[in-house]
Structure 1
Amino acid sequence: MFALTDPVDEQAMSNILTVTLNPALDLSTTVDRVVPEDKLRCDAPVLEAGGGGINVARAIGAMGGRAHAFVAISGYHGQQFLDILRQEPLIPEVFHTHGETRQSLAVTDRTSGEQFRFVMPGPRWTPEQAQEALEAIARVTPQRGYLVLSGSQPPGVPLHFPTQLAALMADHSARLILDTSGAPLKALLKVGSARHHVLRLDGAESEELAGRKLSDIHAVADFAEELITRGVAEVVVLALGAEGSILVEGGNRWHACTQPVTVRSKVGAGDSFVGVFTWAVSQGARWEEALVLGVAAASSAVTSDGTELCRRDQVDELARTATLRRI
């Protein structure tokens, strides 16, 4: 089984750029019980810099890497965000925009174990700002490296932003790994979409995009092949929650899953997968090896509280005992 090693030089550490257009200043806390009307006495809050691409970069940092993290911030909350970000194992690439960086609140009910997540809207962008962001991303994209676009798009950003980014990557011989949802995801099926290197979806997103129920892992793999045939991506990864993930590329169909783990919080599982998967591929892992490490990272993340991500020692152990098979 492929094993990640510590980076040996700055080039190895810096060939990944993550992109976060709609970051959030994440506030998380715990109460005895969530009930209406009463004043709920919370534990001391934890404040973190959040957003898909940021979490992906943090997961890479947890594994010994150091990705560049392009992030659009603004306002007072944006400055708070940046102060926190500078303490993380990543290299910030800051893009200043207008308005105010959004906030999110996660409250865990200690009695039931349930988590309630409240996400505020981000500032609305203009098409001109989106174009400026594309140009700024181009300036910091590593040649022959990897670019990860993860998380939601701010209101006003064109739905085809991922496609525009994919076309831009060709100029840098860089490979785009896309983890998105909603309307931008559906827009990928439109005629003329540029081919993405890797597309990752979760179960609900897969069925939404397919427009049908995907009843078993073979149906999921069939849909992944359909996306490749349609030119949406070269490699498709479909997450199945506790059942692991499926990866399809070049006629190969792989399914990987770990031993069962105790779930404490599902926050960060997808970002942990993408971060460790990308880091593994950038270090020379084969697709199926990166898949195993990715599902191990996702399983590691769900065993932690709140918004904590994967831990390297646990990822290594879960990967050693994981199941990998062709389907």
Structure 2
Amino acid sequence: MRDILTITLNPAVDLSTAVDVVTAGPKLRCARPRTDPGGGGINVSRAIRELGGNSRTFVALAGHTGDKLAELLAMEGIFCLSFKGPGETRQSLAVTDTTTNEQFRFVMPGPEWSQPQAEALLETLSEHVQEGSLVILSGSLPPGMPNGFLAKLCDTVHTNGADLVADLSGDPLTRLVTDKTVRAHILRMDQHEAETLNGAPLPSRAETADFAQSLIHKGAATLVIVARGADGSVLATSDTALHVAAADVPVKSKVGAGDSFVGAFTLALAQGSPLANAMQRGAAAASAAVMTEATELCRREDVDRLTSDCKITPIYGCFDE
């Protein structure tokens, strides 16, 4: 099995709770809170662990909240490679209104980084990237990361003979698809991000596949995945594309669906599965994640049960299953 290394540069201690009604004014008496380690790469590692796999997670931690996060990771059996970051690791809060089942998510900014701190992080990261690894960069970048940081991180991964799996958003995603010095092996995004980059809606699976393929031709990645929400996901290579359906399940919370997808998909690839089968595992994990409450991710028994429900349909070309 290939080594998997996840990277989380802006982690958080995630607090989640529930209240009868979210309204301004009175004190809101909440349910007992749940505390989880959070951040894109961390959640991917948690999903991999839940599915019976192993990964290493490289995390920037700082202050007392960082110590708490390290404890939470240890409790879940996640192998943590910590880097001392600046300031104090952030927290986030998710509150569910039990009357409407709506979820309100409050995400704090991370601590500000300086250029010397960013350079020190890249130097340390280089020591942990192994040849042949699948390196997953997921989640937000912290404030203050200098121009060129993302390109240097990609170069660090490639120079050490590893493949980068990127699941980014906002400005880092834009840089990845427009800056020719930044390239991933696998790039994943959601439909909203794809349509924002495209500058127009992508109503059909074929149009989503054409857009994904255009990013490949521009050199952004070798393989692009676009999540279409309840309509499943589209995967494209330079000359082929497929669609994987989402399972029909009750939705409790959409938090963690993307991270569960990336964890299950990457684990399957690391274990030698063909792309089509890896997409099925990813789709099943995303479907399983929306069945769970708050910040909980997918459950292995649900993923195993739902995998066969996530049907593969070629859009064009042919994939081995």
TM-score, length basis structure 2: 0.95
Equivalent residue in structure 1 for 2:9, among 15, 18, 21: 21
Q: Aligned letter for 2:168? A: T
Cα 1:159–1:278 change in 2 (3 A) is farther
Equivalent residue in structure 2 for 1:178, among 149, 152, 166: 166
RMSD: 1.2
For residue 160 of structure 1, report the CA deviation from its aligned partner.
4.1
- Range with greater deviation from structure 2 (48-57 or 82-91): 82-91
Is the Cα contact below 8 Å between 1:166 and 1:195 reproduced in 2?
Answer: yes
Is the Cα contact below 8 Å between 1:16 and 1:142 reproduced in 2?
Answer: no
Correspondence 1:32 to 2:20: yes
- Give per-residue Cα distances to partners, 1:59-107, cap 9 Å, x unaligned: 0001111110000010111111111111113200000012011110000
For residue 142 of structure 1, report the CA deviation from its aligned partner.
2.2
For residue 159 of structure 1, report the CA deviation from its aligned partner.
5.2
- Range with greater deviation from structure 2 (309-318 or 269-278): 309-318
For residue 274 of structure 1, report the CA deviation from its aligned partner.
0.4
Correspondence 1:243 to 2:231: yes
Gaps in structure 2 of 5+ consecutive residues: 316-321
Gaps in structure 1 of 5+ consecutive residues: 1-11
Distance 2:91 2:10 in 1: 10
For residue 289 of structure 1, report the CA deviation from its aligned partner.
1.0
Is the Cα contact below 8 Å between 2:184 and 2:221 reproduced in 1?
Answer: yes
Q: May I ask how many residue pairs the two structures share in their alignment?
A: 315
Is the Cα contact below 8 Å between 1:258 and 1:318 reproduced in 2?
Answer: no
Alignment match, 1:197: 185
Correspondence 1:219 to 2:198: no
Distance 1:165 1:234 in 2: 17
Correspondence 1:299 to 2:287: yes
Distance 1:259 1:133 in 2: 40
- Range with greater deviation from structure 2 (298-307 or 181-190): 181-190
Equivalent residue in structure 2 for 1:125, among 113, 120, 140: 113
Alignment match, 1:99: 87
Equivalent residue in structure 1 for 2:51, among 63, 77, 93: 63
TM-score, length basis structure 1: 0.94
Is the Cα contact below 8 Å between 1:159 and 1:183 reproduced in 2?
Answer: no
For residue 170 of structure 1, report the CA deviation from its aligned partner.
2.1
Alignment match, 2:270: 282
Q: Aligned letter for 1:152? A: S
Correspondence 1:259 to 2:247: yes
Alignment match, 1:134: 122
- Range with greater deviation from structure 2 (223-232 or 180-189): 180-189
For residue 182 of structure 1, report the CA deviation from its aligned partner.
0.4
